[in-house]
Structure 1
Amino acid sequence: MESLPTNFIDLYFLNVLYLFLVGFVGGLVSGFIGSGGAFVLTPAMMSLGVPGIVAVASNMCHKFPKALVGSLKRAKFGQVDWKLGIIFGLFAEIGVLIGAQVQEHIRNTFGDAGSNLYVSLAFVLILGTVGSFVLYDALKSRKDSNSDTEEKTGKLARWVQSIHIPYTMVYFKSLKAKVSLLFILPLGVATGMLAATIAVGGFIGVPGMMYVLGAPSLMASATELVVAFVMGLGGTIKFAWSGYVDIRLAMIILAGSLFGVQLGAIGTTYVKPYMIKLVMGTIMVIVLFSRALMVPVYLSQLEMIATLDKGLVEILSTVSFAIMVFALSFGAVIILGAMWRGRRA
């Protein structure tokens, strides 16, 4: 029997079961907030010992079919702006190609520990920044929200919509306004670069559509699924070409995700907009702590700090894994609970 590539881990029954459940919760989150769920899936795979770059590549591989299912499901509820999603996605593909090169360069130069450190630091920085802002905005929106009022367009989005640049203006139904493609281009490229480097593009894509372009949260989260499909397809081809896609991980997670993403998509029709922001921000902050605990371990492996005691490494890894499991469980309970209450009401 041929041995597995050095990039790939051995799979046992408990690993497979864990990955399936991770996929289910990731799909639930993806369908609900439109981020692709990768901010729980990538760290969850890394907690099993999957190298960062393989976790990112395999995540992108499973993402595009799941995102397609989610976007079609939410399109039935009228939540998808196909024009914005496709244009945004095409710009994001540029960023995917750039980001994949960066990810491969880091892995080739510093090995698995370097890739793991890069992915973890990126998660801590981005989860901390975006998660805190989204959580703050959700709590603020909750105070002002009631079932009969629409979300208000922010000052930045109103300014963006007021700028008219000849030959670049396009009308989008989700914005109910024309916006210059020159504003979408940098958002798309940044989203693609982030997706290719840590498998998470929704951190920029969803907030970007909401706060910069002025899309309602429901339509932003749904339209991001279209963007995720376009990015995932291109990113999979790019990473597979270099041998970093573990199709086993991708298929197991996808199997769980296809169940979860439909429940998550249905759940959006039963909750107020602020709840989507609240779930997104809360899970981000919890996952942040899971990845932060592993940073000293990777620094030690790269000999950037003193070598850590083996027992301490075990403790940090175990606690990180436990926090990851808590984040997955917490997200599932919030989404399913909100869906159940909304459906009863």
Structure 2
Amino acid sequence: MKRGIGLFKDLGAFLMMGAKAHAKWEIDVSNTIMRDKKRLLIIGLFLIPIIIGGVAFADQLPDILGGKKAYAPSFFTVGIFFASILIGLCAGLITGCIGAGGGFIIAPAMMSAGIKGILAVGTDLFHIFAKAIMGSVLHRKMGNISVSLAITFLIGSIAGATGGGILNRWLYNFNPVLSDAFITTIYVLLLGLLGFYALFDYLGARKSGDAGSAHGATPSEGADLGNLPKTLQAIKIPPMIHFDQNIVPGGRSISWVFLVLSGLLVGLAGSIMGVGGGFLCFPIFVYVLGVSSLTTVGTDIFQIIFTAGYSAISQYAVYGFIFYTLAMGMLIGSLFGIQIGALSTRVVPGITIRGFYAMSVLAGFVNRFFALPAKLNEAGYIKIAAETAMFLDKIGVVTFFIVISIFAVWVIGTFLMNLGKLTGKEA
């Protein structure tokens, strides 16, 4: 029992560390774009054809998007575009407020709105890629990248992204319902583990009286190597990849095999789930491979751009599995959401925000968990009354949107009520 609880805590801490690292990247990107008038102008120019096209060619757009109606929602309206902005806004509020995990609600939210899982994944990947390109902060971090480390890792991540894309497309072509069930199951496992860990973290902080940081305690970032990194770095399978020469006397090295395998896992997860794989890259580098956090940050930024871009374009875009207007809407919404969420943390007790984060992630878990019976029943893997399956699905959808809406209204309301105070602090 104790071993099981310990494993749960370790996995939860592992995922939380990754979620925080990915959110840190999102916040940096948002700041870069929102503080640059030229980048904002580019986004504004993108809106013109989206809105005009939505009004003038609404009935034709599903054909234009990849040429396959089955892949797109049954219709397109300007309302769908604005709904995507709201989805991005809510995800951005979570990311900005808590500094972790807002992107995990995007695919469940789109699937709850009736978009097929594979289209939600492809669209999310394209949204991440567009954000990475427009708000690239790579030039600021180049000194922290080990080129040999990054390239070797990318060999594995590209292979993994290819495998994830092939698997998702094969499942969709075999049975679209099974494809949705598969993606839903992956999210049930991820959001369940992360959500319950966040809940226990919140309850523990509340019990101990730790009401300070909204982001909670930061896990160890690997200054001292643990047993697993020491073991892996001691295995000398040539060629050995050297890194951290400017951080540790003499530097460190690890076999290319472990870098490729790590990249394979990150690319596979990112391509299947649509979150870019960044949430796994950071903890794997620090906890498993023993790379310093400074080098890891630079390499993570590097791999997100290439892995998400490769996966979005080669595995989804060319097959018609991306809804570009939704991706653009989510980009716009998330940029503003992150800014509002980050500012709100200055006037809200950290413990309150951590509680809301646990609720938001668990709402995503409930949403996908209650959607699963209907998917499995429709695919023929379980037998349950159709009315019961639909009722459970509605419970999950309603619970999810109520919790996320309450969170969004609370954060935005807090921001507006304290606008004068926040403006004063900013000044």
TM-score by length of 1: 0.75
Q: Residue 174 of structure 2: which of 90, 109, 122 is its match? A: 109
What is the aligned residue count? 339
How many angstroms apart in 1 are the aligned matches of 2:78 and 2:293? 39
CA contact (8 A) 2:195 2:359 kept: yes
2:243 is aligned to 170
How many angstroms apart in 1 are the aligned matches of 2:345 and 2:260? 28
Larger Rg: 2
Residue correspondence of structure 1 range 185-334 to structure 2 within 5 A: 185-200=260-275, 201-213=277-289, 224-238=300-314, 239-261=316-338, 283-306=360-383, 308-310=385-387, 312-329=388-405, 332=408
Offset of residue 230 of structure 1: 2.0
The amino acid across from 2:252 in the alignment is K
How many angstroms apart in 2 are the aligned matches of 1:38 and 1:248? 18
Question: 196-205 or 325-334, which moves further after superposition?
Answer: 325-334
Give SS of 2:124's match: helix
Call closer, same or farther: CA 1:23–1:307 in 2, change over 3 Å. Answer: same
Offset of residue 125 of structure 1: 1.6
Give SS of 2:243's match: strand
Residue identity (%): 25
Q: Residue 41 of structure 1: which of 90, 106, 110 is its match? A: 106
2:226 is aligned to 158
How many angstroms apart in 1 are the aligned matches of 2:354 and 2:305? 22
CA contact (8 A) 1:35 1:206 kept: no
How many angstroms apart in 2 are the aligned matches of 1:212 and 1:248? 38
Residue correspondence of structure 1 range 55-94 to structure 2 within 5 A: 55-68=120-133, 72=137, 81-83=144-146, 86-87=150-151, 88-89=153-154, 91-94=156-159
The reply on whether 1:127 has 2:195 as its aligned counterpart is no
CA contact (8 A) 1:36 1:202 kept: no
Offset of residue 228 of structure 1: 2.8
The reply on whether 1:95 has 2:148 as its aligned counterpart is no
| Structure 1: gaps (5+ residues) | none
The amino acid across from 1:199 in the alignment is G
Offset of residue 107 of structure 1: 0.7
How many angstroms apart in 2 are the aligned matches of 1:125 and 1:178? 34
The amino acid across from 1:188 in the alignment is G
Call closer, same or farther: CA 1:123–1:151 in 2, change over 3 Å. Answer: closer
How many angstroms apart in 2 are the aligned matches of 1:226 and 1:272? 34
The amino acid across from 2:303 in the alignment is V
Greater relative CO (CA pairs within 8 A, separation 6+): 1
How many angstroms apart in 2 are the aligned matches of 1:271 and 1:191? 34
Offset of residue 11 of structure 1: 2.8
Offset of residue 59 of structure 1: 1.0
CA contact (8 A) 1:279 1:331 kept: yes
**1:261-319: CA deviations, max 9, x gaps?**
45567789999999999887654333111100000111121122335334x44433332
Call closer, same or farther: CA 1:26–1:328 in 2, change over 3 Å. Answer: same
Question: 255-264 or 102-111, which moves further after superposition?
Answer: 255-264
How many angstroms apart in 1 are the aligned matches of 2:341 and 2:305? 17
How many angstroms apart in 1 are the aligned matches of 2:279 and 2:304? 12
How many angstroms apart in 2 are the aligned matches of 1:227 and 1:138? 32
How many angstroms apart in 1 are the aligned matches of 2:406 and 2:77? 25
Question: 170-179 or 230-239, which moves further after superposition?
Answer: 170-179
CA contact (8 A) 1:31 1:264 kept: yes
Question: 204-213 or 250-259, which moves further after superposition?
Answer: 204-213
CA contact (8 A) 1:20 1:255 kept: yes
TM-score by length of 2: 0.63
The amino acid across from 2:269 in the alignment is L
